[in-house]
């Protein structure tokens, strides 16, 4: 369903189809889609970013399109996110040690005139120039009046949330609360399906790296 489809459908259900209401309902579509996008690490919400990192460079600004990193590969070898405080407590020397990176720390985002970028610190400081490939949660891309959402299976959940918002907008609070509970149930079903699909992949191929290996993202 497109944004217009959802707004029209909800408008008919709540008996409010005038232009002003339709404009408001479209803002509800945008807001609720962003909420659903951020509610889970959906497969369709993942993306990659590749960059060449010079020797001696351990602080890396990632792409503007990414919200936060999930995992990464350094020169085709997986490196994993670790907690900054834990590294400092266990072995603070690692923060300045030179060598082949084995992990990374997620730092506060960097802000510039061009926008906000996620940032990571490599553990250790690389002593060679290599390729860094990052898998991350991408920023939401809202869909328009003539396009469909990136997330699959989201229509029922999105319609329910927008209808709840429309009912509240029309001051039908009891109906809005009931519809909101229905929408939350739809969202939980989406989450359960996502976890089921992920578990199924791991069961079919126990070696997860062979499913999500370097070459799949490059």
Q: Span 99-108, mean pLDDT?
A: 96
142 Cβ neighbours under 8 A, 6+ residues apart:
30, 33, 34
Strand partners, 77: 74
pLDDT of residue 127: 97
What mean pLDDT is reported for the chain?
A: 91
Is residue 218 pLDDT above 60, yes or no? no
pLDDT of residue 202: 46
pLDDT of residue 200: 54
Q: Span 40-64, mean pLDDT?
A: 96
Is residue 165 pLDDT above 90, yes or no? yes
Residue 214: name the closest of 42, 45, 50 by CA: 50
- Measured CA to CA in angstroms, residue 150 lies from 1, 141, 182, 213, 214 at distances of 11, 8, 22, 23, 24
pLDDT digits (tens, 9 = 90+) for 109-145: 999 999 999 999 999 999 999 999 999 999 999 999 9
130 Cβ neighbours under 8 A, 6+ residues apart:
52, 53, 74, 75
40 exposure class (CB count in 10 Å sphere: 0-12, 13-18, 19+): middle
**DSSP symbols for 137-170:** EEPP----TT---SSTT-HHHHHHHHHHHHHHHT
What percent of the chain clears pLDDT 90, i.e. is strictly above it? 83
pLDDT digits (tens, 9 = 90+) for 181-215: 999 999 999 999 998 776 654 444 444 343 344 44
pLDDT of residue 205: 42
């Amino acid at each position: 369903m497109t944004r217009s489809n959802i707004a029209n459908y909800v408008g008919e259900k709540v008996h409010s189809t005038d232009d002003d209401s339709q404009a408001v309902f479209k803002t509800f579509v945008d807001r609720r889609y962003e909420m659903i996008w951020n509610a889970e690490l959906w497969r369709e919400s993942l993306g990659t970013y590749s960059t060449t990192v010079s020797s001696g460079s351990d602080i890396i600004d990632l792409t503007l399109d990414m919200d936060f990193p999930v995992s990464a590969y350094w020169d085709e070898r997986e490196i994993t996110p670790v907690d900054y405080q834990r590294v400092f407590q266990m072995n603070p020397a690692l923060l300045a040690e030179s060598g082949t990176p084995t992990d990374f720390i997620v730092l506060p985002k960097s802000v510039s005139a061009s926008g906000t970028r996620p940032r990571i610190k490599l553990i250790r400081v690389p002593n060679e120039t290599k390729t860094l490939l990052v898998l991350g949660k991408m920023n939401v891309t809202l869909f328009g009046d003539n396009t469909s959402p990136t997330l699959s299976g989201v229509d029922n959940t999105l319609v329910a949330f927008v209808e709840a918002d429309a009912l509240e907008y029309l001051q039908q609070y009891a109906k809005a609360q009931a519809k909101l509970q229905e929408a939350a149930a739809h969202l939980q079903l989406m989450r359960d399906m996502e976890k089921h699909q992920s578990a199924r992949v791991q069961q079919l191929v126990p070696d997860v790296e062979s499913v999500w290996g370097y070459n799949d993202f490059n």
